[in-house]
Structure 1
Amino acid sequence: MFKIKKIIGRQVFDARGNPTVEADVFIEDNIMGRSTVPSGTSVGQYEAFELRDVFSEAYGKKGVSKAVYNINTIISDALVGCNFSNQIELDNTLLKIDGSYNKANLGANAILAVSLASAKAFAKKVNKPLFQYIAQEFSNYEQKNNINNKYIQIDLSDNKNFMLDNTDLESRVITTPMFNIINGGQHADNMLDIQEFMIVPVGGKDITEKLKMANEITNSLKQILINKELGVNVGDEGGFAPRIQKTNQALDILKEAIKSAGYNDKVRIAIDVAASEFWKNKKYSFEGEELDSIEMIDFYCFLIEKYPEIMSIEDPFADQDIIGWQLATKALGNKVLLVGDDLFVTNVNKIYEGLEYKIGNSILIKPNQIGTLSETIAAIQMAYNNKYIPIISHRSGETEDTTIAHLAVAVSALYIKTGALCRGERVAKYNELLRIDEYLSIQNK
């Protein structure tokens, strides 16, 4: 049992200098867990509600004093003094306190901060790294322990396709990062419509080599941009934001950097289109043209043919363009990862809809899209059980919190997105993966 002794919420700042929520949760023996939650730029319309002080001019209407107040009053009053036998029990209590379908009463940012801080405290109590706590905590729950508020009905007891039992953890970190080294769209002040151009070092033998490859390709890219006088300013996620306008320009430069670094056969490319950001009146305002769904499909088919290095396309269509998604899945679903972010928003109900429509084949997992650790795990399990690939992801407004690195290892995720190998809030996750890999290698000798 874990007894909550004290909860403290506070306003701190994310990597963009905007306010965000941090929570400290104290349990017996003065054990404390702390979590600082991120926020997104391109936000899916079905994401859990992020509570901001929109009626106050302070911080450009982006303050989080109300969310912090909710932690220090409503949540604290309800949880302090209570005993919890597991994470799901605590998260269910948070869901019950809020009582809304999208966490609009307390704020998903307030709820997630407490959920993750509690998980860190509980892990310390049982003397385990966070990734092992997550893996064990969710491996073999009875049905009575399921997430059970009226909006969510998820069975976490079926573990046959889901590697959460600690005995099944890999002996080393298997996660491959998708490094976002060219930023566009909402993440950069340039003319690129596509939001992220990523390198994926699939040929690296371990996380150390994968990071080495990313470092060398990034340095190569920087020199190419300098030589071409395209600028080396960086965007929200640490990637370069060069003065280019066209997708093919970005891909050509990326290929040149990969080749120059000597990794032609070991690196693939992933892109995040974030198509919801330029979809209006059932048209896509893309690279100076107004395109319909069929024309966008033609564009993606052309890209994959010209650039066979592309292995993943995220949000190729708007979350409301179901026909576009169906066409893409039929045309491209056996060629590349079709990753739903705005489409699925880490929400089991939206994932279920996607399964019904038979769209996509991969799901981006962002804990702050849904608001508790338990619901995040439920989304991952649904992905695995339906042969979708879960990709653990950060947000553009990140913090130094490293929970997602532990989550990726705990669920044996094949891929993680956490930005470029640049900026402290991004590098923190990569450094944590190195530490976890070192820990696992020692434990498994």
Structure 2
Amino acid sequence: MKEISDSTIVDVHARRIFDGCARPSLEVVVTTKSARVCAAPSYSDPRSSGKYEIRHFPNGGVQGSIDLINSIIRERLIGMKADSQEEIDGLFLDIDGTEGFENIGGNTAEATSMAVAKAAAASLGLPLYEYASLNREIGVPHQMPNIIGGGATMGDEGWKGRTPDIQDHIILAVGCQSTYEEMLCVSDVFHRTGILLQEADPNFTGGRDEEYCWLPGLDDVTCLDVLKQACDEVADARGVAFRLGLDVGAADLWDEEKGVYVYLKEGIVRTPDEHATYLASLIDHYNLFYIEDSFFEDHVELYVEQMQQYGNRVLVSGDDLLAGNLQRLEKMAGRCAINAAVIKLNMAGTVTRTRKFVEMCKKNGFSTIGSCRTYDSPDDTMADLIVAWGCNAYKCGSPAGGEHAAKYNRYIRIDKKLGEIPTFATFPGVKP
């Protein structure tokens, strides 16, 4: 890209903010000669972190990140061109000295990297999704919100065994003509599910987890039955169809010492083979379209078997399994263990590394599923990048919650800018 003189960085500043779960986070302001832009990172809760994830914050936590950005990183970035994204992102790795951001933390790099990208786009007078698209054809991703929660996203550890064992119960609307219509349909399902849960669980008082998903005291099969009923009712009313999906969050179920998957709500332990058989029964009975993190990260053979059985009709997706790591992705591609991957910026640490991860997914014919983190902020940068990179879908908690609405509403605005009838991204090899 031709260098633009007014994209020269003249200041970088980090400050404290709060995320959507009332926990400290940070915001980075990058100022160029013609633009002043803020970006906020996604805070990641260690309880929902995968075995292979990078380190999120340096020593000192959020304040440690702020101190690094306002000193060493600021000094190195001033005078550089904001549109030199790959060079700047490489600088973060150089400052850190490790591939896993063990010293400065992934959120330190992620927040600054996003702010630089937004500043470069603003300097050129372009929306971020257009600037970052590299002239690729742009398609609007499908929205795949979580409706019922459980597992690692339920909040305090004391809730374990009192709520569903599986982490996320997900839906996809099929047949919509716009992002707004998609969100209207899934929001209807969200509200209808809340009503049906009150009928299924007399003790349910409308509680939600930290992703604003409903959190009943029911087992997963009952939750799927309720969710299917809500989808069927809304499908009849709206003239669309729905598919169900799961983020199993299996790492949270796995007991390494005992060698079993522990379902506390059901009061059952399952061997790895029994766990695989149980998931297969859910896929078959509910005609699931999507299943994520079905097994503990090192149980690759079980992923391979699941792909052999269902890979032609189900998105078998990796999140904790991959952790935004190119080496892990190459390994799983070589084993034919998955056909979809979750995209999270602070797993990779920078815009450049995340983009390369997406490109590697596409090279292997994988669907790409953009995602926020449990402790996210109302920043909408991720939405622009997911559109720019041509990701197939986006999942970000429930339709409720300010940090989620910020992204969903950004997709709606981009949708309107792209045309009256947007081109939804398709799923390679699998039809919803």
**Same fold judged by TM-score > 0.5?**
yes
> Counterpart in 2 of 1:275?
250
Name the counterpart of 1:178. 144
Is the CA contact (8 Å cut-off) linking 1:231 and 1:241 kept in structure 2?
no
What residue identity is the alignment partner of 2:44? G
Does the CA-based 8 Å contact 1:225-1:231 persist in structure 2?
no
Question: Kindly tell me: are residues 50 and 337 of structure 1, through their superposed partners in 2, closer, same or farther at Cα, counting changes over 3 Å?
Answer: same
The 2-side partners of 1:124 and 1:363 are apart by 30
Partners of 1:265 and 1:131 lie apart in 2 by 28
How much has 1:442 moved relative to structure 2? Answer: 7.4
Instruction: Give the secondary structure class of the aligned counterpart of 2:102.
Output: coil
The answer as to whether partners of 1:238 and 1:426 remain within 8 angstroms in 2 is: no
C-alpha separation in 1, matches of 2:131 and 2:293: 32
Written as runs of structure 1 = structure 2, the 5 A alignment for 1:334-349 is 334-349=312-327
Deviations 1:216-240 (A, max 9, x none): 1122112212334333111111111
Aligned-pair Cα RMSD in Å? 1.8
Aligned to 1:86: 84
1:109 maps to which of 107, 110, 131: 107
Shift of 1:20: 1.4
Report SS of the residue matched to 1:200: strand
Assess, with a 3 A threshold, how the Cα gap between structure 1 residues 254 and 128 changes in structure 2: closer, same or farther.
same
| Cross-structure match for 2:120 | 122
- Per the TM alignment, residue 89 of structure 1 is displaced from its structure 2 partner at its CA by 1.6
Q: CA deviation at 1:7?
A: 0.4
Find the aligned partners of 2:267 and 2:300 in 1 and give their Cα distance. Answer: 24
Instruction: Find 2:8's aligned residue among 3, 9, 13.
Output: 3
Q: Which residue of 2 aligns with 1:156?
A: none
**Is 1:33–2:5 an aligned residue pair?**
no
Shift, 1:357, TM fit: 2.3
Distance 1:431 1:305 in 2: 34
Corresponding residue for 2:169? Answer: 197
Query: Could you tell which deviates more after superposition, 216-225 or 392-401?
Result: 216-225
- Note if 1:239 corresponds to 2:213: yes
| Structure 2 counterpart SS, 1:51 | coil
| Greater shift in the superposed pair: 183-192 or 265-274 | 183-192
1:154-169 paired onto structure 2 within 5 Å: 165-166=135-136, 168-169=137-138
Match of 1:284 in 2: 261
Distance 2:408 2:24 in 1: 24
Unpaired runs of 5+ residues, structure 1, are 55-62, 137-164
* Structure 1 contact 199–267 (Cα < 8 Å) conserved: yes
Q: Which one of 273, 277, 295 corresponds to residue 298 of structure 1?
A: 277
Aligned-partner residue type, residue 101 of structure 2:
K
Matches within 5 A, 1:298-377: 298-308=277-287, 310-377=288-355
AA matched with 2:275: M
Q: Is the Cα–Cα contact under 8 Å of residues 169 and 412 in structure 1 kept in the other structure?
A: yes
Q: In structure 2, what is the Cα distance between the partners aligned to 1:320 and 1:295?
A: 17
Task: Give the aligned partner of residue 233 of structure 2.
Answer: 260
For the 8 Å contact 2:58–2:103, the answer to whether it is kept is no
| 8 Å Cα contact 2:295/2:303 also seen in 1 | yes
Q: How much does 1:412 deviate?
A: 2.0
1:135-174 deviations in Å (ceiling 9; x for gaps): 02xxxxxxxxxxxxxxxxxxxxxxxxxxxx24x224xx3x
Aligned residues: 401
Partner SS, residue 245 of structure 2:
strand
- Alpha-carbon displacement from aligned partner over 1:332-364 (angstroms, at most 9, x marks no partner): 222311110001111111101212222111000
Once the 2 structures are TM-superposed, how far is the Cα of residue 191 of structure 1 from its aligned partner? 2.2
CA distance in 1, matches of 2:355, 2:319: 16
**Cα drift, residue 441 of structure 1:** 1.7
Aligned to 1:22: 27
Contact kept in structure 1, 2:255 and 2:261, CA below 8 Å:
yes
Q: Is the 8 A contact 1:9 1:22 kept in 2?
A: yes
* Alpha-carbon distance in 1 for matches of 2:277, 2:318: 19
Structure 1 residue aligned with 2:399: 421
What is the rounded CA distance, in whole Å, between the counterparts of 2:417 and 2:99 in structure 1? 39
**Structure 1 residue 51: deviation in Å?**
1.3
Partner of 1:152: none
CA distance in 2, matches of 1:443, 1:300: 37
The match for 1:435 is 413
Q: Distance in 2 between matches of 1:49 and 1:347?
A: 13
In structure 2, the residue matched to 1:45 is 51
Q: Give 1:438 shift.
A: 1.2
**Secondary structure at 2:119's aligned position in 1?**
helix
Corresponding letter in the other structure for 1:289: I
Deviation of the 1:45 alpha carbon = 1.9
CA distance in 1 between counterparts of 2:57 and 2:388 reads 29
TM-score (norm 2): 0.89
User: What 5-or-longer segments of structure 2 have no aligned partner?
Assistant: 423-432
Deviations 1:33-68 (A, max 9, x none): 2111112331012112111556xxxxxxxx411111
Cα distance in 2 for residues equivalent to 1:335 and 1:443: 27
What letter matches 2:306 in structure 1? Answer: A
Q: Does 1:66 align with 2:71?
A: no
